[in-house]
Structure 1
Amino acid sequence: MSPLALVLLPALLLPPHTPATLVPAPRVDARTASIASASDPRLDARAALDLDPRVDARTASAALGSGLHVEVVSNRADLVSGGDALVRITGSARVRVDLNGADVTSAFVPGPRGTLTGLVKGLSPGENVLTARPDRGRAERLTITDHPRGGPVFSGPQVRPWRCQTTENGLGPAVNDQCDAAPVRRETTLADGTKATLERGTINRGVYDLLVPESWNHKLVWTFGAGTGQHYRQGVSRGLTAPEAVEAASKGFAVASSTMTDNSLHSNDVTSAETVMMVKEHIIETYGEIRYTIGRGGSGGALQQYLIADAYPGLLDGLLPTQDWPDQIVGAYREFGDCAALVRHMDSSPLWTDPEDRTAVFGHGGTGVCATSAGRAPDYMKPDDGTSCAGEDSYDPARNPTGVRCTLQDFMVSVYGTRQGCAGTPCARRPWDNVGVQYGLTALRAGTITAEQFADLNEKVGGFDIDMAWTPRRSAADAEAVEIAHRSGRVVFGRGLARVPIIAAKGTDNNDYHYPWRSLVLRNRLDRANGHHRNQVLWTNGSDGSPLDVMDRWLAAVETDERAVPLPDKVVRHRPPQAVDACWIDGAKITDAATCDRAYPHRADTRVAAGEGPTSDLLKCRLKPQRRDSYGVAFTDEQWARLRTAFPTGVCDYSKPGVGQSVPRPWLTFANGPGGTPLGPPQTSRS
C-alpha cells in the first residue's frame, strides 16, 4: 500500500477573498465564503477515511483502535470487482482463513513483519464474509462486497444499448452482454531492449491495455485519451504505441489505458474514474502493488485527470496534463453553447462584421476559438449530432423521436437524472444556462463595442431548447442538474487537487480552444479552494527535461515522507527545484513571470468577458435588477427598453455564488440514484 494512500485529508477551510479581477491572484472573489457555508468542507478524522478508496482496513482500524487486522489491499473492501481480492492479514502469523465458511488458508503466504497475503478467489456477487481465526484470541471478520467485472461499481445504472467489440480488438467473442472476454497477453521487446508484457482485456464494459516492463518499478502511468464522444459501444482501443507510453515503460513504469478513459469514445468522467479504479485493482491482483499512479493526456485527457483527482482523490497521485482544460461541463459544454449562440447571431447581423468586435465579446485572442467551439457544440448538446451514437437505436426527430439521445447529459443520465418534455419521453436533465448573462459586458465598459452592439447582441442572442434548436429566449437549465453538477464535482472545485502535484503544459495560442487562460482558470480555483497553488507548475513552450522524470522525483519524495502531516503539505514541501513556473523563449528557460506574460500573454473566456470572476465556474448565475447607471456608458431610451426586454428577470450577480454552487463531496456513488450519495468510510475488519 502506497503511503500516499494512507494519509487522511485534513479539513481544508476556504479563505476569504478579494473582489474578482481578470488577473489570476492568490485570492479570488467573495463568493467562496458563501459557497463554503452552503456545504461545509470540514471533516472529522473518521469521515475523512472515505476520501480515498485506497485507505485500507489497517489504517482505519488503527485510527479506531484494534488488534488483528484483515484488509483488502487491491481496493476498498466494498468496491471490489471481478470475483477476487488481494487480502493482507496482520497481527498474527498463524490463522485459519474462511471465505463464506470455506477454508481458503492455502491462498495466503507469509510476508514481511509477520503478515500474510493472499489472492482470495471465488467471491460471490454482493457481500462476502472473510474470517481470520488465530490460534488464540478472537476471530476477525471483514465484509467484502464484490461487483461484476463488467461493472458498475459506483457509477450507477449503465447506459443501454451497448455494443460489444471484443473481436475488433483482437479478443475472443464476448461471453455476456457486459462484453466480458478472456484477456490476451504476449511478451514484447521495446526499441531500447526493454522486455515487457502486453495485456489486453475487458473491464467495466471497456477494453483496457497494459504494458508492464519485466523490471517493473511498481509505478503506473495512466494514459487518458483526448476528444469528445458519447458512443454506446465498447470502442476500438488506440493501444499503447505512443512515444510517451514507450518512454514510460522503458523507464520501468507500467502503462495503462482503456477505451472507457478515451474521451473521444466515452465522455463520462464518473465511469472513467470507476474504470481507473477497477483496472488498478486488476493490476495489483495480477502483477503486484502500485506505489503511485501518474495521469497523462491532453485536452479531453487533461480534463479527465482534473475531474478524477478532484472528485475521486486517491486514484491518481500526480497529473501531467497537456492542452489544458479545467473540466468538461463548464470548460467545454458551457462555452461551446455560448459560442454557438453568439456566432449564429453575429453571422446574421451587419453590426458584427468586424472580427475585432467579435473577439472583444468572445474574450479570446481571435475569432477562431468560438468558430471551432460553435461547430463542436452539437457534440455535447444535440440529440442527433450526426454520430449515430447508438446505431439504429439513435434518436432521429422523424424516424425515431424516442430513440437514444446523443448528448453529454444523456450519456451521464445516471448522474443527472431525467426530465420530461423530450418527444413525450424522459431525457436527461440539462445543466446549460445563459439566463442573465450579459455577453460583451467588459468590452462595452472598455469602449471596445458600442451601446447599440451590446443591446443588439443581448436582445437577439437567444438560446437553445433541449434538442438544440435555437429559440429567441435564453436557455434555463434544469436546477437539479446544476446543483448535481456542482455538488458531485462535475465542475472542478479544486479541493481534492491539493493532494496531487500538477505539471501542466500551458498553451500559447489565444486563438486556439486550448488557450492559455484554461490553465489559469484551474490555478484560480486552486487558490480559492486551498489558499494557494503551490502544487501546480506551469511550463510554457518548453519543459525542463522529461515531465515524467520530474513528477517521479516529486512523488518519490512524498512517498518517503513518513511524518504525520497532511498529504497536501507533503506535496508542497517536496516540490523539486525544477518544478517551477517557467517559459522558454528562443530555447532559453525564463522563470520571471512578467517576462513570460509579455512573451505569451493570455486572454479570457466568454463568461469572464461577460463579467464573471476568474474561477469561471458558474453554470447558472443568481440574478439582480438591472441598473442603467452601472454600465459606465449612455444608452438611449430605446436601447435601454430593449435591454430591459432582453433581461426580464434581471442580470447576473457575480458577487454571489451561483445557483446550486457548493463545495463538492468526494467519492459519491450513484448506485442509489442520480445526484449521488457519499460512499462513506471503508469497511473495516471487526471481531
Structure 2
Amino acid sequence: MSGPSADIHLATLPTRPDLVSGGNARLVVTGLADASLTDVRILVNGLESEARFVSAGGRVETILTGLIDGANMVRVEAAAGHYGELTIVNHPMGGPLVSGPQLQPWICATPERLDAAEGQPVTYTSGLKNGPLDAQCNVEPELRYFYHTTDQDCAIPLGQEDSCFRPFDPNGPHPSDMATTTTDEGRTLDYIVRVERGAINRGLYDIAVLHDPASPEDELNAWNRKLLWQFGGSTGYLRRQAEPVSTWALDYALGKGFMVAVSSHTDASRNANRVVAAETVIMLKEYVSDRYGLVRYTMGHGCSAGSMQQNIIASMYPGTLNGLVLACSFPDSDGHAQEIFDAFLLNQYFESDTFAQLNEGLTDTEINRKRAEIAGHKDANSVKNFGQFRFAYVPGVWGDEPMNNNCRLPNDLVYDPERNTDGVRCSNADHSIDIWGAYPETGFGRSTKDNEGIQYGLATFLDGRINAEDFVSVNEAAGGIDLDGNYVDERNIASTEALAVVYRTGLITDGHVLAATPVIDLRGDENSSVHYNWSSFALRDRLMNANGNLDNHIIWRVGLPGGGAPWLDQEWLEMGMPQLALDTMDAWLTGIEADRAAGNDVEKMRRNRPETAFDFCYLGTDYST
C-alpha cells in the first residue's frame, strides 16, 4: 500500500505566496479534476477552511480569507491520499510588505481636520465619513458615485460646478444631462463611475471604475479587467496620511471600461520612497484581485516624478507595471537628484560676490549666457529652477510657521541641529532611510550626492565659451552640502554603501530590465525649465546601450509646453494625444497578453508592437491634420 502522494500544486495570484497582504489570498491549484472539487478539503493552519474551489479560466481556484499575519500553512487534500502544501506569508493591510520598518511618528487622516489647542494642525482630512480603525490608519472602504455630464464645456478638475464628473445618487433619479459611453468590449452604458476610497499601506487610495447599476455591489461587471495607475509628480516627505493628489477622473480611460487607481503613496509630493510606492501598487493590485477579479495588465501613467516612479518600479519590480505612458519624463529620481545638487551649488556661486566681481561690466544677457554655459543648459532658467528643490536636503524646520518642514509635523517634533538634535529628520535621505541605511556615527540617512573631482564648465572651457578664470573660479567655489542641508566649502563624497544600493536595486533604471516593457513617452518642447527634452533621450540612451535597439521605446514630441500633465491639459486633450497613447499601449499589451507562441518576453513585446507605435515629432502649431 503506497503512502500519500504530494502531486497537487498550489500557488497564489497575482503575488508570490510570501508577498500576500490583507488576510486574503487567491489560491490557484493544479492536479485536481473538476469532478472531485466538492470532495476536496482545504486546511489553513490545521483548521478546515470554508473556502471551496471553482473552475475559472481553465484554472481551479478559491479565495482564502482570515489568514493570520506571518506564515500560514495551507494544505489541500483530495481523494486517494493526494495532497499539496504551500506556506503563505501574510502581511498587514497597513503594511509594510517589502520596504522595512515604517516611519514614525505617523499621523492618520480624519474626516475633519483636527487642530491642537495652540492651533497647530494635527491631522489632514481623509475625504471619508468615518475615522481610522487603528494606528496603521486602516479604514473601512467607502463608496462614492459620479456621473459624466453631456455638457461639452465641462472642466476636468473634480469638485467644481462645471466638472465633467458630478456627484450621483445611485438611489435617486438619473440626471437629465447624464452621458452614455461604449466600452472597448462593446457595451453601451449610462456613464456612471463608482469610486472606492480606502487605505492600504497607510496611504489613502481611490479606485474608480465604470459602474453598471444592474450588477451586484461586490461585482464590477462593466470593468474590462485592465488597470491604469496614475502616478503623481513633485517631491515630498510627509509623515502623515493624506488624500491622493492625482485624479482618477480620466474620461478616455474610464469610458472604455478601464479601472483607474491613485494613491497618496504614489503621489511623489506625498511620498518619495520608491519602494513604498512600489509595494503600495503590489498590495492594491492584490486587493483588487481578491475582491473583484484578476487584473489582466497594468498600465502606468504619470508626468515628472510620476514618470520617474514608473521607470523605477518597472526596473525594481518587473511585471508590476506592464506598460509605461510617460510625460515630462525623467529616467529616474536619483540620477536627476544629482542635477539638483549641482544646480544648488552653482546657484550659490552665481549669487556670490566672486561671480559678480568677475563679470562686472557685462549685461544681464551676457551674464545669463555665462551661467548657462557653465551649467551646461540652454539658458540660465533651468539651473535656477533646479536649485529650488534644495529643500529636499533640509532635515529640519524652514521657519517659524507651525509644521514648516518636509515631514509636515509640528515643529517641536522635528530635528534642529542646536535645539532638538533628537527630533525627526525630514530630508530625502532620512525619509528613505530603509533604502539607503544610516551612517553609523550619526544615525542620519546615507547620501548619494557626490561632486568630488567634478570639473564644472569643462566642456565649455575647452570649446572657448568661457575663459580660464571663469573655469578656475567656479571650481574653487563649488563646495558641497552637509547632512543638515547647509552649504559648505568642502565637496561631497557619496556613501559607497548607498551607491551600491542605488545600482543593485534598480533605483537607477536598468535598460536591460526595461527591455521587455513597452514605453510611450509624450514630450512637449521645453528646454528652459526642469522638464527639458534631453531627459527622454537620456532614457533612450540607456536602452540603446543595454539592448542595442529601441524596440520598446516610443517618443511622441509636439510643440506644446513640456511641464504640464498631458491628460489634464486641454491642448493635449484636444489633440487626442492622451487617448492615442492609451489606445496604442492597450493594443500593445493586449497583443502581448494573447501571444502564446514560443519566445521570451522581449520577443513578444517586439512582435506585438502596433503600427501606431512609431516615433513622432511635430513642433509646429497646426495640429488639425
TM-score between the two structures when normalised by the length of structure 1: 0.73
**1:491 has 2:536 as partner:** no
Q: Match for residue 369 of structure 2? A: 356
Q: Match for residue 539 of structure 2? A: 522
1:360-399 equivalent positions in 2, closer than 5 A: 360-385=373-398, 386-389=404-407, 390-391=409-410, 392-399=412-419
Q: Match for residue 42 of structure 2? A: 97
Is 2:248–2:262's contact at 8 Å kept on the other side of the alignment?
A: no
**Inter-partner Cα distance in structure 1 for 2:284 and 2:545:** 33
Is 2:232–2:246's contact at 8 Å kept on the other side of the alignment?
A: no
Deviation at 1:531, TM superposition (A): 2.0
Deviation at 1:467, TM superposition (A): 1.1
Distance change in 2, residues 1:341/1:359 (3 Å)? same
**1:185 has 2:126 as partner:** no
Q: Match for residue 25 of structure 2? A: 85
1:73 to 4, 7, 13: 13
Deviation at 1:250, TM superposition (A): 0.7
Is 2:230–2:246's contact at 8 Å kept on the other side of the alignment?
A: no
Q: Match for residue 207 of structure 1? A: 204
1:579-615, CA deviations, whole angstroms, 9 ceiling, x for partnerless residues? 111112435689xxxxxxxxxxxxxxxxxxxxxxxxx
2:236 to 229, 238, 243: 229
Residue 17 of structure 2 aligns to a residue whose secondary structure is coil
**Inter-partner Cα distance in structure 2 for 1:369 and 1:166:** 39
**Inter-partner Cα distance in structure 2 for 1:240 and 1:336:** 28
Q: Match for residue 302 of structure 1? A: 307
Deviation at 1:532, TM superposition (A): 1.7
**1:158 has 2:175 as partner:** no
Is 1:273–1:312's contact at 8 Å kept on the other side of the alignment?
A: yes
1:67-106, CA deviations, whole angstroms, 9 ceiling, x for partnerless residues? 5222211321110001111112222132211111222254
Q: Match for residue 109 of structure 1? A: 54
1:191-211, CA deviations, whole angstroms, 9 ceiling, x for partnerless residues? 333233210001001001101
1:296-335 equivalent positions in 2, closer than 5 A: 296-331=301-336, 333-335=337-339
User: Which structure has more RCO (C-alpha within 8 Å, separation ≥ 6)?
Assistant: 1
**Inter-partner Cα distance in structure 2 for 1:525 and 1:345:** 32
Distance change in 2, residues 1:380/1:520 (3 Å)? farther
1:445 to 462, 477, 486: 462
**1:170 has 2:121 as partner:** no
Deviation at 1:384, TM superposition (A): 3.7
Deviation at 1:554, TM superposition (A): 0.8
**Inter-partner Cα distance in structure 1 for 2:340 and 2:86:** 48
**Inter-partner Cα distance in structure 1 for 2:376 and 2:386:** 13
1:627-663, CA deviations, whole angstroms, 9 ceiling, x for partnerless residues? xxxxxxxxxxxxxxxxxxxxxxxxxxxxxxxxxxxxx
Deviation at 1:241, TM superposition (A): 4.8
Distance change in 2, residues 1:521/1:239 (3 Å)? closer
Is 2:430–2:445's contact at 8 Å kept on the other side of the alignment?
A: yes
Deviation at 1:553, TM superposition (A): 0.6
Letter in 1 for 2:373: A
Deviation at 1:560, TM superposition (A): 0.9
Give RMSD over aligned pairs. Answer: 2.0
Q: Match for residue 491 of structure 2? A: 474
Is 1:240–1:246's contact at 8 Å kept on the other side of the alignment?
A: no
Residue 427 of structure 1 aligns to a residue whose secondary structure is coil
Distance change in 2, residues 1:248/1:543 (3 Å)? closer
Is 1:284–1:290's contact at 8 Å kept on the other side of the alignment?
A: yes
Letter in 1 for 2:127: G
**Inter-partner Cα distance in structure 2 for 1:566 and 1:345:** 52
**Inter-partner Cα distance in structure 1 for 2:45 and 2:368:** 71
Deviation at 1:403, TM superposition (A): 1.3
**Inter-partner Cα distance in structure 2 for 1:370 and 1:143:** 53
**Inter-partner Cα distance in structure 1 for 2:439 and 2:264:** 29
**1:289 has 2:309 as partner:** no
**Inter-partner Cα distance in structure 2 for 1:461 and 1:359:** 16
Deviation at 1:335, TM superposition (A): 0.9
1:489-536, CA deviations, whole angstroms, 9 ceiling, x for partnerless residues? 221122221121100012411111000111111111111222222101
Q: Match for residue 66 of structure 2? A: 122
2:420 to 376, 397, 400: 400
Residue 319 of structure 1 aligns to a residue whose secondary structure is strand
1:256 to 246, 257, 261: 261
**Inter-partner Cα distance in structure 1 for 2:511 and 2:368:** 35
In the alignment, structure 2 segments of 5+ residues that lack a partner are 1-5, 112-124, 150-178, 180-189, 212-221, 399-403, 559-574
Q: Match for residue 554 of structure 1? A: 588
Residue 136 of structure 1 aligns to a residue whose secondary structure is helix
Is 1:506–1:540's contact at 8 Å kept on the other side of the alignment?
A: yes
Letter in 1 for 2:611: P
Q: Match for residue 134 of structure 1? A: 78
Residue 78 of structure 1 aligns to a residue whose secondary structure is helix
Moved more, 542-551 or 278-287: 542-551
Is 1:444–1:451's contact at 8 Å kept on the other side of the alignment?
A: yes
**Inter-partner Cα distance in structure 2 for 1:185 and 1:288:** 18
Is 1:383–1:467's contact at 8 Å kept on the other side of the alignment?
A: yes
Q: Match for residue 646 of structure 1? A: none
**Inter-partner Cα distance in structure 1 for 2:602 and 2:232:** 27
In the alignment, structure 1 segments of 5+ residues that lack a partner are 1-65, 591-687
Is 1:80–1:145's contact at 8 Å kept on the other side of the alignment?
A: yes
**1:417 has 2:437 as partner:** yes
Q: Match for residue 660 of structure 1? A: none
1:326-378, CA deviations, whole angstroms, 9 ceiling, x for partnerless residues? 111111x2111101111111221133561111111212211111111111122
Letter in 1 for 2:74: L
Deviation at 1:305, TM superposition (A): 0.4
Is 1:388–1:394's contact at 8 Å kept on the other side of the alignment?
A: no
TM-score between the two structures when normalised by the length of structure 2: 0.80
1:449-489, CA deviations, whole angstroms, 9 ceiling, x for partnerless residues? 11111011111111111112222121111221112111122
1:305-330, CA deviations, whole angstroms, 9 ceiling, x for partnerless residues? 00000111111000011111111111
Letter in 2 for 1:574: N
Letter in 2 for 1:467: D
Distance change in 2, residues 1:277/1:577 (3 Å)? same
Distance change in 2, residues 1:586/1:375 (3 Å)? closer
**1:219 has 2:226 as partner:** yes
1:550-589 equivalent positions in 2, closer than 5 A: 550-586=584-620
**Inter-partner Cα distance in structure 1 for 2:225 and 2:86:** 27
Distance change in 2, residues 1:112/1:343 (3 Å)? closer
